[in-house]
Chains A and B, each alone.
Chain A
């Protein structure tokens, strides 16, 4: 041990754990520098917020009780009786929303910069899968405090799932654990939220991150075409230090949001009470909800809502398969069509979300 000098402990650990390949990877890994470098930070930011979610979620598990009789009261208990319970719960709620926002930014930047080109098709697919998993996290977690808004939002949300042709009724029953949203649904959503989804997320996320390390950062075609030699910086420590700066700022923002705008608990859900007016889902589902609401009751022979749900289903499949559909970008050519599609989707989501909020 007396030989331990600077970095001596690292050698000591490395000798035992076989960290050399990892250290080598960290030493070798480089991040391209160009006018779009900023977008590289959003994946890491999403990951950081995901870790915050895991940490605060595990803490909340110590006091949360997943049943219709106790869920609301236990969250109230966390907010009032447990020291720093208000902080942990508010951070969990705020961080969830920030994470989804960062995920949107990350996903659309990757799409618009065509980072899904070979050999990164699987990175894209695992990323989109993670996006769906995160939406499921949001949907299931929203119900857990068992308050009025969450109860009715879940009711409406699962009803939409019931619209899907053929399997709709099964899907609705599968989600609700019965024909109605009940205490059974709550326990079920709790299971999804803390066991099934985390297991899936861990697996897909591991693959996603491993693929990112394996293929390195993608340089956008527009940059590639302009410059032969793209400047780079070391991932460690240069890029990681910058990442850390972002994380710290995010941490400060979360603390400020939680302390100044504690997440509200609302009223306890009452399954027999009439639905309050203006039930809206969380903002990240709003564009879909608003679309379904604006659709006419019938388009040709098909019910408007069914068509809407089918369209979103197809949209999801398209989104997942983008790397195989965009042939031009694969060949390194400019493909204005896919850029246009991305911009249109982005605009559509933005407009529908705003319309949903205003209506």
Chain B
């Protein structure tokens, strides 16, 4: 009897020890992983670094990621920076800057927007959503108005 009792006691202690140990690991593992810095260091707020001053000569433009949607950053022929949503208000194609026309242009159905984002020719029914642009050193920071 006592031998059975001892084996029983040992088994329970073993079960308890290992399972509690494993539980502890199940708790600490996510915590340690949580503490490890993530791939992207910062949460993407309502502003984003859209580009560098040096990469945009006057009369040019580029597409940048703004959250999960594309935005368009342009530098006017006079050197000003402006940013808009790059989603055409007609059928949601991505617009582009046309240095030859000095306009924002949608290739899908030949929609034209002026440098203030206003729809001036072609199918687009509305102007492009305008963003706020700030230049900090070489960085161009775009944020929602």
> Which A positions have Cβ atoms within 8 angstroms of B?
55, 59, 62-63, 65, 69-70, 73-74, 76-78, 81-85, 87-88, 248, 251
A89 to B31, CA, bound (A): 12
- Pairs across A and B, CB under 8 Å, 7 listed: A55-B31, A62-B34, A69-B45, A70-B43, A83-B30, A88-B31, A88-B34
Name the CB-closest residue of A to B19.
A248
Q: Does B44 contact A (CB under 8 A)?
A: yes
A206 to B54, CA, bound (A): 60
Name the CB-closest residue of B to A62.
B35
Name the CB-closest residue of B to A248.
B23
Q: Does B36 contact A (CB under 8 A)?
A: yes
| Contacting residues, chain A, for B38 (C-beta < 8 A) | 77, 81-83, 85
Known: A81-B38, A82-B38, A83-B38. A76 touches B30 (CB 8 A): no
Identify 19 new A-B residue pairs, CB closer than 8 A, beyond the known A69-B45, A77-B42: A59-B31, A69-B46, A70-B43, A70-B45, A73-B44, A73-B45, A76-B43, A77-B38, A77-B43, A81-B38, A81-B43, A83-B30, A83-B34, A84-B31, A84-B33, A85-B34, A87-B30, A87-B34, A88-B30
- Looking at the assembled complex, report how far the CB atom of B130 sits from the nearest CB atom of chain A, in whole angstroms: 17
A54 to B23, CA, bound (A): 19
Q: Give the most central of B35, B36, B43: most A CB within 10 Å.
A: B43
Name the CB-closest residue of B to A70.
B45
A73, A74, A76, A83: which contacts B33 (Cβ < 8 A)? A83
- Looking at the assembled complex, report how far the CB atom of A13 sits from the nearest CB atom of chain B, in whole angstroms: 20
A137 to B33, CA, bound (A): 27
A interface SS class: helix
A70 to B43, CA, bound (A): 8
| Contacting residues, chain B, for A248 (C-beta < 8 A) | 23
Name the CB-closest residue of B to A81.
B38
Q: Are A77 and B36 in contact (CB under 8 A)?
A: no
Q: Does B39 contact A (CB under 8 A)?
A: yes
In the complex, chain B residues 15-57 whose Cβ is within 8 Å of any chain A Cβ: 23, 27, 30-31, 33-36, 38-40, 42-47
A77 to B44, CA, bound (A): 7
| Contacting residues, chain A, for B33 (C-beta < 8 A) | 83-84
| Contacting residues, chain A, for B43 (C-beta < 8 A) | 63, 65, 70, 73-74, 76-78, 81
Closest 7 CB pairs of A and B: A77-B43, A84-B30, A74-B43, A83-B33, A81-B38, A73-B43, A84-B34
- Looking at the assembled complex, report how far the CB atom of B46 sits from the nearest CB atom of chain A, in whole angstroms: 6
- Looking at the assembled complex, report how far the CB atom of A83 sits from the nearest CB atom of chain B, in whole angstroms: 4
Q: Give the most central of A76, A81, A87: most B CB within 10 Å.
A: A81
- Looking at the assembled complex, report how far the CB atom of A7 sits from the nearest CB atom of chain B, in whole angstroms: 15
Name the CB-closest residue of A to B33.
A83
| Contacting residues, chain A, for B39 (C-beta < 8 A) | 81
- Looking at the assembled complex, report how far the CB atom of B132 sits from the nearest CB atom of chain A, in whole angstroms: 12
A76 to B45, CA, bound (A): 10
Name the CB-closest residue of B to A91.
B30
